[in-house]
């Protein structure tokens, strides 16, 4: 949440900062701001709303020559936590002297007590933010050494932060610090950058250093000095980014979401690459770092995550039970962290996260570790906090997901969970023959997804018929139940249509009271073992005048019952969750497009939820 970018070098800083903010806008877009530094001191610009508003302001206020002259700056795009999205609350925030400024991602939990103490010392706060408590505290400690002032201020701070700090008295450095919110330093030729996300650096450098919690660094055009909280120098390795600039651009698509939906044959192929052993009917997941004996000894798996990642976990639960015969459960990460989970060393916790930064999932991992349980990560972003905290697991290799609504991460997560189920299954009851069948099906996934993508135009027409309705229901059974939940989540977050996902059998236990003539009910009707039951549930809705949109396996449509049909390719029920999810992503996308919504940046949302 919130995006940070900083630059120090010899090139004009403004376009680099603005370019970075645009890349980071998906992390928060309530307001944006930047501070530029030269020998005359700090100059700031802030605007409410998207980065484009800030650009307009800069254009009006700074001459081109002036833009050229600034070679140092920090910038921020905000997702409001403390204080409304106003210009005053936008970052950067200043100290009392207005010579030091800070951009911050995270939450300063004890900001009220810091604020009260500083008010007693005569500080008059400009904003309602927690960040201003920190910027003023740094100013209080400043005696000519910015790094030291930041160290001392952070010793008094509780909470999470990724920060970049400038001082007008020390124009040759940016001080950065991280605890709980990501920060990555990019190293160029005679220049250095810092960002909350590597995607903002990729056009400038591929050489990066990921900061760890507790790190405090000083960057200059040609040096990086990182120290721990006790002020001891530490070495952090330089990583090469496995990203190219094209991966974070729209590539001709109208929205990132559509691009990411269409990338799924490739992103799932990447998730599967080198991991399927077709002849053995097994999977190769070296990152799990487990011997067959260790795999066989697991009593139970617990899948934790939030939102879309939680839904992927729910599909995993069915796969682990069905394929591997292993007891499995799913827990919302925020719940897991605060209850007293009954887990022991025979259990395996799998933490699922696209961003690898979700605060609740990170806390759930720490809780599981405290209890002595083995924890694996199922993560997209390499170098993220969850990837590092778990230390082992499987990357889904979906590439950067820019649209706030998660799409290719979901299908990558489910694909890898199927591979894990295969591996666990082969370590216990799953025969080689059945393993080979499943492995072959999983291997077909890119083509199965393509089958659905080819119906894009037809799905757009279905969306036209449902776009006028302000309510929708998604129903499914077995592994299609979490897909129904995911379909409803996608629709509500990007189109603001009130959508509910239900187990198909649950509808008549209450929610059916909400059905009125014409309400769209999306029926996931491909589950062969309970297909008749699902159709009965659809009949119940039809009898109340619902508009039935059936997502059915090729050749299994019930034309008398359905108003619209989306066809899935022939495959088993677990594998079918992926093409079905893709169909519902397209449906949500087109409804949102027709309703004129801000698809990539829906209101009130941000991409990675680094606060509780």
Q: Which residues bind ligand F6R (CB under 6 A)?
A: 306-309, 353-355, 358, 361, 405-406, 489, 493, 608-609
Cβ 90 to ligand F6R, closest distance in Å? 23
Contacts of 275 (CB under 8 A, 6+ apart): 283, 284, 285, 416, 419
Per-residue CA distances from 288 to 184, 364, 410 (Å): 26, 19, 20
Cβ 578 to ligand F6R, closest distance in Å? 16
Strands of the sheet with 159-167, listed across from one edge: 93-94, 100-108, 159-167, 174-179, 216-220, 223-227
Cβ 23 to ligand F6R, closest distance in Å? 17
The DSSP secondary-structure symbol of 198 reads: G
Residue 120 appears among annotated catalytic residues? no
CA 598 – CA 600 distance, rounded (Å): 6
Contacts of 510 (CB under 8 A, 6+ apart): none
CA 408 – CA 399 distance, rounded (Å): 9
Measured from the CB atom, the residue of 255 and 542 that comes closer to ligand F6R is: 255
Residue of minimal Cβ distance to ligand F6R: 307
Residue 306 appears among annotated catalytic residues? no
Measured from the CB atom, the residue of 163 and 588 that comes closer to ligand F6R is: 588
Map 18-53 to HEC letters.
HHHHHHHHHHCCCEEEEEEEECCEEEEEEEECCHHH
Measured from the CB atom, the residue of 87 and 500 that comes closer to ligand F6R is: 500
Measured from the CB atom, the residue of 319 and 365 that comes closer to ligand F6R is: 365
Cβ 489 to ligand F6R, closest distance in Å? 6
Contact 101, 72 (CB under 8 A): no
Helix (H, G, I), strand (E, B) or coil at 262: helix
9 burial type by CB count under 10 A (0-12 exposed, 13-18 middle, 19+ buried)? buried
Cβ 494 to ligand F6R, closest distance in Å? 8
Measured from the CB atom, the residue of 141 and 607 that comes closer to ligand F6R is: 607
Contact 377, 285 (CB under 8 A): no
Cβ 369 to ligand F6R, closest distance in Å? 18
Cβ 543 to ligand F6R, closest distance in Å? 33
Q: Nearest Cα to 202, choosing from 219, 218, 184?
A: 184
Cβ 259 to ligand F6R, closest distance in Å? 15
Backbone angles phi, psi at 397, to 5 degrees: 55, 40
Measured from the CB atom, the residue of 6 and 307 that comes closer to ligand F6R is: 307
Active-site choice (2, 101, 192, 306): 2
Per-residue CA distances from 20 to 34, 176, 212 (Å): 11, 17, 21
Provide the 10 A C-beta neighbour count for residue 59: 10
Per-residue CA distances from 605 to 108, 351, 368, 403, 554 (Å): 20, 22, 28, 11, 36
Cβ 177 to ligand F6R, closest distance in Å? 23
Count, residues in the chain: 612
CA 408 – CA 410 distance, rounded (Å): 5
Q: Nearest Cα to 449, choosing from 564, 576, 574?
A: 576
Measured from the CB atom, the residue of 36 and 398 that comes closer to ligand F6R is: 398
Measured from the CB atom, the residue of 361 and 495 that comes closer to ligand F6R is: 361
The DSSP secondary-structure symbol of 408 reads: H
Active-site choice (22, 179, 408, 607): 607
Measured from the CB atom, the residue of 77 and 406 that comes closer to ligand F6R is: 406
Residues with catalytic annotation?
2, 607
């Amino acid at each position: 949440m919130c995006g940070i970018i900083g630059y120090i070098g010899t090139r004009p800083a403004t376009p680099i900062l603005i370019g970075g903010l645009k890349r980071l806008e998906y992390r928060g877009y309530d307001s944006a701001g930047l501070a530029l530094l030269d020998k005359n001191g700090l100059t700031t610009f802030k605007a409410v709303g998207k980065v484009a508003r800030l650009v307009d302001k800069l254009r009006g206020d700074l001459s081109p020559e002036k833009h050229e002259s600034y070679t140092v700056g920090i910038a921020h795009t905000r997702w409001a936590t403390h204080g409304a999205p106003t210009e005053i609350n936008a970052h950067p925030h200043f100290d009392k002297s207005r010579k030091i400024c800070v951009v911050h991602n995270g939450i300063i939990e004890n900001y009220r007590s810091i604020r009260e103490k500083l008010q007693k010392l005569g500080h008059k706060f400009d904003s309602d933010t927690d960040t201003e408590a920190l910027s003023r505290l740094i100013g209080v400690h400043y005696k000519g050494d910015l790094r030291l002032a930041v160290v001392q201020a952070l010793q008094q701070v509780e909470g999470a932060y990724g920060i970049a700090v400038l001082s007008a008295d020390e124009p040759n450095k940016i001080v950065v610090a991280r605890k709980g919110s990501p920060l990555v330093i990019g190293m160029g030729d005679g220049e250095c950058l810092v960002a909350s996300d590597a995607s903002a650096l990729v056009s400038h450098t591929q050489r990066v250093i990921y900061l760890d919690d507790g790190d405090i660094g000083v960057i200059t055009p040609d040096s990086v000095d990182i120290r721990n909280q006790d002020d001891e120098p530490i070495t952090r390795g330089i990583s090469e980014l496995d990203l190219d600039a094209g991966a974070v651009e729209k590539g001709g698509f109208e929205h990132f979401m559509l691009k990411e939906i269409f990338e799924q044959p490739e992103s799932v192929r990447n998730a599967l690459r080198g991991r399927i052993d077709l002849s053995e009917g097994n999977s190769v997941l070296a990152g799990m770092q487990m011997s067959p004996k260790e795999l066989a000894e697991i009593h139970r798996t617990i899948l934790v995550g939030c939102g879309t990642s939680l839904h992927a976990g729910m599909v995993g639960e069915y796969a682990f039970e069905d394929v591997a015969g292993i007891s499995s459960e799913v827990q919302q990460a925020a719940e897991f962290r605060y209850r007293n989970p009954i887990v022991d060393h025979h259990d395996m916790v799998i933490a699922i996260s696209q961003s690898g930064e979700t605060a609740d999932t990170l806390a759930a991992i720490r809780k599981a570790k405290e209890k002595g349980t083995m924890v694996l990560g199922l993560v997209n972003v390499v170098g993220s906090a969850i990837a590092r905290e778990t230390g082992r697991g499987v990357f889904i290799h979906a590439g950067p997901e820019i649209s706030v609504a998660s799409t290719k991460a979901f299908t990558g997560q489910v694909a890898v969970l199927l591979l894990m189920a295969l591996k666990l299954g082969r370590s216990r009851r799953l025969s080689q023959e059945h393993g080979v069948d499943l492995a072959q099906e999983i291997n077909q996934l890119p083509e199965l997804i393509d089958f659905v993508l080819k119906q894009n135009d037809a799905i757009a027409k279905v969306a036209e018929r449902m776009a006028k309705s302000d309510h929708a229901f998604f129903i499914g059974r077995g592994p299609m139940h979490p897909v129904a939940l995911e379909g409803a989540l996608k629709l509500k977050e990007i189109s603001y249509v009130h959508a509910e996902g239900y187990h198909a059998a649950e509808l008549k236990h209450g929610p059916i009271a909400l059905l009125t003539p014409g309400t769209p009910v999306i029926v996931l009707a491909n589950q062969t073992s309970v297909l008749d039951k699902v159709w009965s549930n659809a009949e119940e809705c039809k009898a109340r005048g619902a508009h039935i949109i059936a997502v059915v396996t090729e050749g299994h449509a019930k034309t008398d019952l359905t108003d619209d049909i989306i066809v899935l390719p022939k495959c088993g029920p677990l594998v079918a969750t992926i093409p079905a999810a893709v169909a519902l992503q397209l449906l949500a996308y087109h409804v949102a497009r027709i309703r004129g919504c801000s698809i990539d940046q829906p209101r009130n949302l941000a991409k990675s939820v680094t606060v509780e």
